[in-house]
Amino acid sequence: MAMLMTGDLHYLAGFGNELQSEALPGALPQHNSPQHCPYGLYAEQISGTAFTAPRHQNRRTWLYRIRPSAGQACSQPYVQPRFTAELRSDTPPEPMRWNPLPLPTSPVDFVDGLVTMAGNGSAALQHGFGVHLYACTRSMAGRVFCNADAEMLIVPQQGALRVVTELGLLDVEPQEIVVIPRGIRFRVDLLETSARGYVCENFGAPFRLPDLGVIGANGLAAARDFLHPVAWFEDCATPTQLITRYLGQLWQGELGHSPFDVVAWHGNHAPYKYDLRRFNALGSVSFDHPDPSIFLVLQAPSDTPGVDHIDFVVFPPRVLVAQDTFRPPWFHRNVASEFMGLIHGKYDAKASGFVPGGASLHPCMTGHGPDVATIERALQANTTRPDYLTDTMAFMFETRLPMLLTDYALDGPLRQTDYLDCWSGVHSRFVGGTHPQG
Ligand SMILES: O=C(O)Cc1cc(O)ccc1O
Ligand SMILES: [Fe+2]
């Protein structure tokens, strides 16, 4: 297991590994639950999969902490109406696009800064997802969050974050992502004055690296680039508010101390971060624009082989060399629903309107593709020469279940009601004349 240092923090590298870390020498016992743990710590197991899940999918971590989590409960509702599970079944099958969430003008933290855009399924049935935006201007002082429903994939777009978790600290900046496994308590601190980004809540099987099939043993996201925290703790008796997302609702309770009191841990149910700039993008070196599955970073599999519940796909800087090819994303309709965000720069299918921090949704089977300006450019391009796509980082949450939208997404202030106009100048270029009948 490699130990890496990036910025001020140390990380454990790898994906799906059995990891171990201790913040004090000898804090990690030789076996899971000795009669007396080192330093008088309590052992606590957090299971992320069924006890009996197959070994390659089984996820659990043993925590050695100053106080166990028992005796703590969130029994009071916490009111944050924009972070919701209320979805509209009258969502129309229409391409949609949104402007970025404005940064709050008052102090707002990560939990209060979340706004739900879309989702489907049910946290109670452990099937489905939520899609959210966040914009915040202060750290979660005195407050921690626990998602009992879902694993959370956070995609910062603006503003670096320090994510304090039970297993240690992760610093993430835009163009990196962080994944918090279900049930792990965490706090988001701002390393800059404001922060904005996207969140995918995954109620189903956890994200994993895709198989590479004929690509071979290397390519796309490399396991060694996934970085986990090392053990870090504070022994702090300050009262702390715990907010838990459970069955799609928010609940609060008071802890008499910091829950970040895990002195050592071992296991594989652990948060991680990944730098999207490390993604090894592959593409066509002959002709045609490949399916975007070649840009798959992480997949959350469904019960149907080959059909993912959620795909997290990135569109990074790359060189397009396909010859005699319409190079931008093609016109298409897809059985999956495509929620896209832009982290940085421009996206190659849209010359304007899709801006960093903004979002778009192309619901299942809804026609979409490049806008008029992109079409014109692509038709005139000299495809014997490479196109260097620089200054770009877009991503997609591509889901098997259609996306139901919230009131905020459908009728709120971010919606670009003129989005369809980006195709209104797409005219017939047909030169065949009238085909004789019969
Ligand atoms: O619609 C989109 O912009 C996303 C997308 C990109 C691409 O290169 C191929 C298919 C696809 O859905
Ligand atoms: Fe698409």
Give the start-to-end residue ranges of the domains of the chain: 3-23+41-47+59-99+106-276, 282-420
In CATH, what class is 282-420?
A: mainly beta
pLDDT given at position 3: 63
Lowest average pLDDT, out of 236-240, 330-334, 433-437, goes to 433-437
Q: Read off the pLDDT band of 33 (50, 70, 90).
A: very high
Task: Clarify whether 10 is annotated catalytic.
Answer: no
Q: Which residue has its alpha carbon closest to ligand 1 atom 8?
A: 329
Q: Read off the pLDDT band of 436 (50, 70, 90).
A: low
Residues whose CB is less than 8 angstroms from the CB of residue 371 and which lie 6 or more positions away in sequence, other chains included: 349, 350, 351, 352, 353, 422, 423
Q: Quick one: which ligand is closest to 289's CA?
A: 1
Pocket lining: 344 vs ligand 1, CB cutoff 6 Å: no
Pocket lining: 328 vs ligand 1, CB cutoff 6 Å: no
Residue tagged 């508010």 (tokens): 241
Pocket lining: 320 vs ligand 1, CB cutoff 6 Å: no
Q: How many CA atoms lie within 13 A of 430 on its CB side?
A: 6
**What are the tokens at 289?**
């624009």
Residue tagged 């971060």 (tokens): 273
Q: Which of 97, 318, 332, when mutated, tests ligand 1's pocket best, judged by the most ligand atoms within 8 Å of its CB? A: 332
Ligand 2 centroid vs 253 CA: distance in angstroms?
A: 42
Taking residue 107's Cβ as centre, other Cβ atoms within 10 Å add up to 11
pLDDT digits (tens, 9 = 90+) for 334-392: 999 999 999 999 999 999 999 999 999 999 999 999 999 999 999 999 999 999 999 99
Phi, psi dihedrals of residue 302, rounded to the nearest 5°: -100, -175
Pocket lining: 371 vs ligand 1, CB cutoff 6 Å: no
The bridge status of strand 240-246 relative to strand 143-147 is: parallel
The bridge status of strand 404-405 relative to strand 195-202 is: unpaired
pLDDT given at position 434: 72
**Rounded Cα–Cα distance for residues 363 and 4 (Å):** 40
Q: Read off the pLDDT band of 71 (50, 70, 90).
A: confident
**What are the tokens at 306?**
């080959």
Q: Which of 311, 338, 339, 419, when mutated, tests ligand 1's pocket best, judged by the most ligand atoms within 8 Å of its CB? A: 338
Pocket lining: 114 vs ligand 1, CB cutoff 6 Å: no
**What CATH superfamily classification does 3-23+41-47+59-99+106-276 receive?**
Jelly Rolls (2.60.120.10)
Q: Which of 285, 318, 289 is nearest to 394 (CA)?
A: 318
Pocket lining: 362 vs ligand 1, CB cutoff 6 Å: yes
Contact 295, 281 (CB under 8 A): yes
The bridge status of strand 76-77 relative to strand 249-255 is: antiparallel
Atom of ligand 1 nearest to the CA of 347: 3
From the list 56, 266, 289, 309, the catalytic residue is: 289
pLDDT digits (tens, 9 = 90+) for 92-133: 999 999 999 999 999 999 999 999 999 999 999 999 999 999
The pTM for the full model equals: 0.97
Cα(first)–Cα(last) distance of the chain, in Å? 71
Pocket lining: 292 vs ligand 1, CB cutoff 6 Å: yes
**Percent of all residues in the chain with a pLDDT value above 90, rounded to a whole number:** 96
Q: Which residue has its alpha carbon closest to ligand 1 atom 7?
A: 329
Q: Which of 5, 33, 188, 173 is nearest to 113 (CA)?
A: 188
Taking residue 261's Cβ as centre, other Cβ atoms within 10 Å add up to 20
Q: Read off the pLDDT band of 73 (50, 70, 90).
A: confident
Q: Which of 248, 211, 242, 269 is nearest to 129 (CA)?
A: 248
Q: Quick one: which ligand is closest to 374's CA?
A: 1
pLDDT digits (tens, 9 = 90+) for 163-190: 999 999 999 999 999 999 999 999 999 9
Q: Quick one: which ligand is closest to 348's CA?
A: 1
Q: Do 3-23+41-47+59-99+106-276 and 282-420 agree at the fold level?
A: yes
Taking residue 223's Cβ as centre, other Cβ atoms within 10 Å add up to 11
pLDDT given at position 331: 97
Task: Give, as one character, the DSSP assignment of residue 288.
Answer: S
**Residue 411 DSSP SS3:** helix
Whether residue 234 is predicted with pLDDT greater than 70 in this model: the reply is: yes
The enclosing H or E element of 173 equals none
pLDDT given at position 186: 98
pLDDT given at position 2: 55
**What are the tokens at 362?**
């192309």
Atom of ligand 1 nearest to the CA of 348: 3
- Measure CA 104 to chain center: 22
Ligand 2 centroid vs 173 CA: distance in angstroms?
A: 26
Strand residue runs (E) in 236-381? 240-246, 249-255, 262-267, 272-275, 296-301, 308-315, 318-320, 337-345, 359-362
**What are the tokens at 129?**
């997802």
pLDDT averaged over the chain? 96
- Measure CA 258 to chain center: 26
**Residue 208 DSSP SS3:** strand
Q: Read off the pLDDT band of 4 (50, 70, 90).
A: low
**Percent of all residues in the chain with a pLDDT value above 70, rounded to a whole number:** 98
Taking residue 384's Cβ as centre, other Cβ atoms within 10 Å add up to 8
